[in-house]
Amino acid sequence: MNKQITTEEFAEKVNAFRISRVILTAYELKIFSVISERKKTAAEVAQIINADVRATDRLMNALVSIKLLDKSEGLFSNTEFSLKYLVEGKNTYMSGLMHNVNLWNNWSTMTEAVKKGTTVTMKKPVNERESEWLESFIAAMHSRGKKQASDTVKLINLSNVNKILDIGGGSGLYSFALVDNKPALKATVFDLPNVIPITQRYIRQEGYKDSVNTVKGDFLKDDFGCGYDLVFLSAIIHMNTPEQNKLLIGKSFKALNLKGQLVISDYIMSEDRTQPTTGALFALNMLVGTSAGDTYTEYEVNNWLRSAGFTNITKIDTEYNTGLVIGIKYKD
pLDDT per position as a tens digit, 205-229:
999 999 999 999 999 999 999 999 9
pLDDT tier at 180, thresholds 50, 70, 90: very high
Under 8 Å between Cβ of 226 and 161: no
Predicted pLDDT at 256 = 98
In 3D, which of 201, 179, 205, 180 has the Cα closest to residue 191? 201
Does 193 map to a domain? yes
Pairing of strands 186-191, 256-266: unpaired
pLDDT digits over 225-241, tens only?
999 999 999 999 999 99
Judge if 80 and 131 occupy the same domain.
no
pTM of the model: 0.88
Does 120 map to a domain? yes
pLDDT tier at 135, thresholds 50, 70, 90: confident
Is 66 a residue whose pLDDT tops 80? yes
Judge if 72 and 178 occupy the same domain.
no
Does 98 map to a domain? no
Judge if 124 and 72 occupy the same domain.
no
| Region 252-268 average pLDDT | 97
Domain boundary among 50, 72, 88: 88
Predicted pLDDT at 132 = 79
Mean pLDDT is lowest, of 128-142, 181-195, 294-308, for 128-142
Provide DSSP, 279-290.
Answer: HHHHHHHHHHHS
Phi, psi (rounded to 5 degrees) for 312: 50, 45
Question: Percent of the chain having pLDDT more than 90?
Answer: 87
pLDDT digits over 28-64, tens only?
999 999 999 999 999 999 999 999 999 999 999 999 9
In 3D, which of 240, 295, 251, 255 has the Cα closest to residue 271? 295
Distance, CA of 33 to CA of 267 (rounded, Å): 35
Judge if 55 and 118 occupy the same domain.
no
Supply the CATH number for residue 219's domain. Answer: 3.40.50.150
Does 243 map to a domain? yes
Is 115 a residue whose pLDDT tops 80? yes
For the chain, the average pLDDT equals 94
Q: In the 3-class helix/strand/coil scheme, how is 307-324 assigned residue by residue?
A: HHCCEEEEEEECCCCCEE
How many structural domains are present in the chain?
2
Peptide bond into 183 cis (omega under 30): no
Domain boundary among 39, 72, 88: 88
Does 105 map to a domain? no
In 3D, which of 316, 302, 268 has the Cα closest to residue 156? 316
Judge if 30 and 169 occupy the same domain.
no
Does 240 map to a domain? yes
Judge if 55 and 145 occupy the same domain.
no
Distance, CA of 77 to CA of 189 (rounded, Å): 42
Predicted pLDDT at 313 = 97
Judge if 43 and 121 occupy the same domain.
no
CB half-sphere exposure, 82, CA atoms < 13 A? 24
pLDDT tier at 121, thresholds 50, 70, 90: confident
In 3D, which of 70, 14, 18 has the Cα closest to residue 40? 70
Under 8 Å between Cβ of 177 and 155: no
Judge if 67 and 142 occupy the same domain.
no
pLDDT tier at 332, thresholds 50, 70, 90: low
How does DSSP classify residue 309? T
First-to-last C-alpha distance (Å) of the chain = 46
Phi, psi (rounded to 5 degrees) for 109: -100, 10
Judge if 83 and 119 occupy the same domain.
no
In 3D, which of 76, 70, 68, 72 has the Cα closest to residue 45? 76
Domain boundary among 88, 103, 125: 88
Under 8 Å between Cβ of 77 and 70: yes
Sign, CA dihedral 228-191-91-42, equals negative
Distance, CA of 243 to CA of 249 (rounded, Å): 10
Distance, CA of 323 to CA of 316 (rounded, Å): 6
Does 107 map to a domain? no
Strand partners, 191: 216
Judge if 189 and 320 occupy the same domain.
yes
Is 96 a residue whose pLDDT tops 90? no
| Region 279-285 average pLDDT | 96
In 10 A of CB 86, how many CB atoms? 24
Question: Percent of the chain having pLDDT more than 70?
Answer: 96
Identity at 69, one-letter amino acid code: L
Under 8 Å between Cβ of 188 and 214: yes
Phi, psi (rounded to 5 degrees) for 167: -80, 130
Under 8 Å between Cβ of 71 and 61: yes
Predicted pLDDT at 158 = 97
Does 209 map to a domain? yes
Judge if 70 and 117 occupy the same domain.
no
Is 1 a residue whose pLDDT tops 70? no
Supply the CATH number for residue 32's domain. Answer: 1.10.10.10
Judge if 305 and 224 occupy the same domain.
yes
Give residues with Cβ within 8 angstroms of 21, minimum separation 6.
104
| Region 81-107 average pLDDT | 91
Q: Domain limits at 53?
A: 7-88
Is 134 a residue whose pLDDT tops 90? no
